[in-house]
Amino acid sequence: MFAFLYRWLDERLHLDELIAPFKHKTVPQHRLSYWYFFGGITLFLFMIQVLTGILLLLYYRPGANEAFESVQYIMTRVQFGWLIRSIHAWAANLMIFTAFVHMFSVLFLKAYRKPRELTWVTGVILLLLVMGFGFSGYLLPWNTLAFFATKVGTEMAGQVPIVGKAMMIFLRGGPEVTGATLTRFFGFHVAVLPGLVTVLIAMHLFFVQRQGMSVPPKIEAEWIENPSARREMKFFPNFMLRELMAWYVAMGVLGALAAFFPWNLSTKADPFISAPAGIKPEWYFLFMFQTLKMIPSKVWIIDGEVLGILGCSVAGLLWLLLPFFENEKSSRSKAWVTGISIFALVYVIGMTVYGFLAQ
Amino acid sequence: MASLRNNSLLAVSSALLLAGFILLAPSLFAQAVNSCLDCHSALDGTLQVTPEKFSQDIHAQKGLTCVSCHGGDASNYDPDQAMSRKAGWKGKIDRKQVPQLCGSCHSNPAYMRQYNPSLRTDQLDQYHTSMHGKRLAAGDTKVAVCTDCHSVHDLRPAIDPRSPVNPVNVAKTCSRCHSDVAYMKPYGIPTDQFANYSISVHHDAMVVRGDLSAPTCTTCHGNHGALPPGVDKVQNVCANCHAFQAQMYGKSSHFKAFQEKGLPGCVVCHSNHAIHMPSDAMLGTGPTGVCMKCHAPGDHCDKARAAILTDLTQLDQSIKNADQSLRLAESAGMEVSEARLSQDQAQDSLTKARVTIHTFQTALVDADVQAGMKIAAANLKAGRDAMVERNHRRIGLGICLLAIAFMLVGLWLYIKKLES
């Protein structure tokens, strides 16, 4: 039946030609190959997000008077609503985590080097967009923590010199966080960001398929020295089946998290109460939040918060352009990039832990 | 020509300025002079009034001076002239004259309106009806006059937390005389009111919780017209805050019985100054029980008491059980916020039942209790259902994980086969 259907489609669409490159595509096989799976796992979690997001859309109602109640309804009345929402929330966190792991693995395995600079650039933009997904989605249940986290987050955006104020008003849909902000964030979350992410994922995957998997320089050198040690596996089905195994593991982890720790709903947002004491953003923003907290209110003549926002923006831009700073022939530039990478990893982990522990 | 005109103008304006200064200078200096404070700040004891102290006084802040009450001439540094009868000096105001002197302004609505249109002007009239006022009129100068409670020379408005008549300080101010055993001896009235009030639920609300609407001495006794409310009128006073209880008590069998026996209504069960937080134990037979002080064991009322107590205890326990069950579900991450919200309704029913006790009718109390029991039972079930649901989820997860494990093993074997 399947063979008949395939033949029927092939006659009309010439599928064989389309599939041919995949049949010949290979993946390097070495002791660090398992790092290749994290990109795929991130993609799998994104697909889960799309699927569970669509299901949540069937019941979710954006609006200050309805959002919280609709999520409460999903959690208590809709069959498996709790599972869908919990998986959506947990998968979002796991996706950001695996995206970070994927980024640092690319960094340490030197996979960003020429000719893969654009793959790195699209990947970093994707990470920022995914964090944007997290920020916009966090407000949608319209609970107390989400409300105040959005208030603080958009206030920070307002600190950007010159355009900050206008940007804050654009994000909030007015001078304050209100129902208008919720509607706006909903729009970003279900229309603007998915559109951008889909285009960028397509570009990212196209680059990966076109250029193949990068082999770490150390392994490459070993293979040049000993050509018989070079190993490769077919992308389809060998690598794909292994990736499928990783996806199954991710699915199991997601299910366990949703069953043991269903995502909390907390209490409905009340704009008239004061912010809960010690309010903190989600873990993936914590390193930036803690950095901004540690900067003194005034550094020389510059406002501390403005300096922090500017510093983070410049660091982000440099990070995006990181591959362009490494010169293929200069070992000094390579050492610099490696040093910065190690520093960035330690800094992000250290500040996140410090942010968790800080009062 | 132009420069000549300019010089003339300059000379004329300088002359005008100088003349203005010469004319205004004495009045400017006269305002700054207060010979009373200059001397009295150097005196000791009750005669001492410093400019710092007087500047805190609301009267000073509104522009009144020593002369406004004491007469005399504050601009004169010669004590004989400043404090001469010719200058209208009254000297130390006699205690008997204090209310009248204060009333000369405070009972004048037209005069008071210019400072505070919302301030009452019937204090003096009220004072005349008070026990303090009556005794003063009879020649007893030991009783409180305006300055005893409001202070003098540093008198602050009642809304100022430092004022002795600020709601938080009223009880302490009254206690200065009313807790003084020796001072109160001639009057033959108790002196334990403040000690009792200090352990009451009202004091707790006022001082500990900072609720300025909580009652203090003047809330029940009045301030300027202070008098005990009277045995048969106690419930009217309590009703100002506890309206429902008073309404129910007014229609109850106890109201009639207490009136016939001359018993002071609410005070019979709740006491007057040492009013504790009411508890269900008041319906019990223990040391805090109140019913059995009048009723005999086994009589009709004792049975009603026991039935009401059982009802209340059952509802209280049911709410606690539901609470525990919901807490357990919440700690397991289950969503039970709707049941949690309706726990408030169950608690409201219990509160309502505790108010309905003042009807002393078991059927009415039972109706409130049953309404609460129904809600508590539903909440208990919601908590238990959530835990059952949690178990189902874990079983479901176990099955899924097993299926995933089979898939992983199958895939691994398939890969091995493929690559061999």
CATH classification at residue A143? 1.20.810.10
Q: Does residue A13 lie within any of the structural domains? A: no
pLDDT of residue B3: 46
The last residue of a domain, from among B165, B199, B228: B228
The last residue of a domain, from among B53, B75, B92: B92
pLDDT of residue B202: 96
Is pLDDT above 90 for B182? Answer: yes
- One domain for residues B318 and B411: yes
Segments in B47-89 forming alpha helices (H): 51-55, 58-61, 66-70, 79-82
Instruction: State which residue of chain B sits closest to A255, comparing Cα positions.
Output: B397
Angle at A23 between CA A17 and CA A27, to 5 degrees: 140
Is pLDDT above 60 for A13? Answer: yes
Interface test with A, best of B342, B402, B415 (most A CBs within 10 A): B415
Instruction: Taking residues B89-97, report their average pLDDT.
Output: 91
Helix (H) or strand (E) holding B267: helix B266-270
- One domain for residues B145 and B206: yes
Classified as helix, coil or strand, A39 is helix
Q: Does residue A20 lie within any of the structural domains? A: no
Classified as helix, coil or strand, B272 is coil
List of chain A residues whose C-beta atoms are within 8 Å of the C-beta of residue B403: none
- One domain for residues B412 and B307: yes
Percent of chain B scoring above 90 in pLDDT: 76
- One domain for residues B330 and B415: yes
Given a contact cutoff of 8 angstroms between Cβ atoms, the answer to whether A44 and A205 are in contact is: no
Domain count, chain A: 1
A80 touches chain B (CB under 8 A): no
Strand A302-303 versus strand A232-234 pairing type: unpaired
> Which among A259, A265, A267 is the nearest to B335, CB-wise?
A265
Given a contact cutoff of 8 angstroms between Cβ atoms, the answer to whether A164 and A157 are in contact is: yes
Q: Does residue B185 lie within any of the structural domains? A: yes
Work out the mean pLDDT of chain B and round it to a whole number.
Answer: 90
Q: Binning pLDDT at 50, 70 and 90, where does residue B7 land?
A: low
> Which among A233, A244, A259 is the nearest to B397, CB-wise?
A259
Q: Which of A308-317, B245-254, B319-328 holds the top average pLDDT?
A: B319-328
Q: Does residue A23 lie within any of the structural domains? A: no
Q: Binning pLDDT at 50, 70 and 90, where does residue B28 land?
A: very low
Q: Chain A 216-235, CB below 8 Å of chain B: which residues? A: 233
Q: Does residue B238 lie within any of the structural domains? A: no
Q: Do B333 and A242 touch (CB under 8 A)?
A: no
Q: Which region among A81-95, B82-96, B379-393 has the lowest average model confidence (pLDDT)?
A: B82-96
pLDDT tens track for A131-173: 999 999 999 999 999 999 999 999 988 888 889 999 999 999 9
List of chain A residues whose C-beta atoms are within 8 Å of the C-beta of residue B334: 262
- One domain for residues B408 and B320: yes
Q: Does residue B367 lie within any of the structural domains? A: yes
Q: Does residue B257 lie within any of the structural domains? A: no
- One domain for residues B383 and B346: yes
- One domain for residues B341 and B380: yes
Is pLDDT above 70 for B12? Answer: no
Q: Does residue B260 lie within any of the structural domains? A: no
Q: Does residue A7 lie within any of the structural domains? A: no
Length of chain A: 359
pLDDT of residue A24: 85
Q: Do B335 and A238 touch (CB under 8 A)?
A: no
pLDDT of residue A110: 93
Query: How far apart are the C-alpha atoms of B70 and B153, rounded to whole Å?
Result: 12
Q: Binning pLDDT at 50, 70 and 90, where does residue A225 land?
A: very high
pLDDT of residue B4: 44
pLDDT tens track for B146-165: 999 999 999 999 999 999 99
The last residue of a domain, from among B201, B228, B255: B228
**Token reading at A307:** 């300096």
Q: Do A260 and B333 touch (CB under 8 A)?
A: yes
List of chain B residues whose C-beta atoms are within 8 Å of the C-beta of residue A76: 335, 338
- One domain for residues B77 and B188: no
pLDDT tens track for B103-118: 999 999 999 999 999 9
- One domain for residues B412 and B311: yes
Nearest chain B Cα distance for residue A170, angstroms: 34
**Token reading at B68:** 């406004």
Nearest CA-CA partner of B377 in B321, B308, B331? B321
Could you tell me the residue range of the domain that residue A155 belongs to?
30-266+276-357
Could you tell me the residue range of the domain that residue B323 belongs to?
300-419
Its pTM stands at 0.71
Exposed e or buried b for every residue in A141-172, given b needs 16+ CB within 10 A?
A: bbbbbbbbbbbbbbebbbbbeeebeeebeebb
Q: Binning pLDDT at 50, 70 and 90, where does residue B26 land?
A: very low
Domain count, chain B: 3
Given a contact cutoff of 8 angstroms between Cβ atoms, the answer to whether B358 and B249 are in contact is: yes
Q: Does residue B255 lie within any of the structural domains? A: no
> Which among A75, A242, A255 is the nearest to B401, CB-wise?
A255
Q: Binning pLDDT at 50, 70 and 90, where does residue B23 land?
A: very low
Q: Do A251 and B338 touch (CB under 8 A)?
A: no
Q: Do A238 and B394 touch (CB under 8 A)?
A: no
Q: Does residue A12 lie within any of the structural domains? A: no
Query: How far apart are the C-alpha atoms of B78 and B81, rounded to whole Å?
Result: 5
Which ipTM score applies to this complex? 0.84
Q: Does residue A162 lie within any of the structural domains? A: yes
Nearest chain A Cα distance for residue B393, angstroms: 6
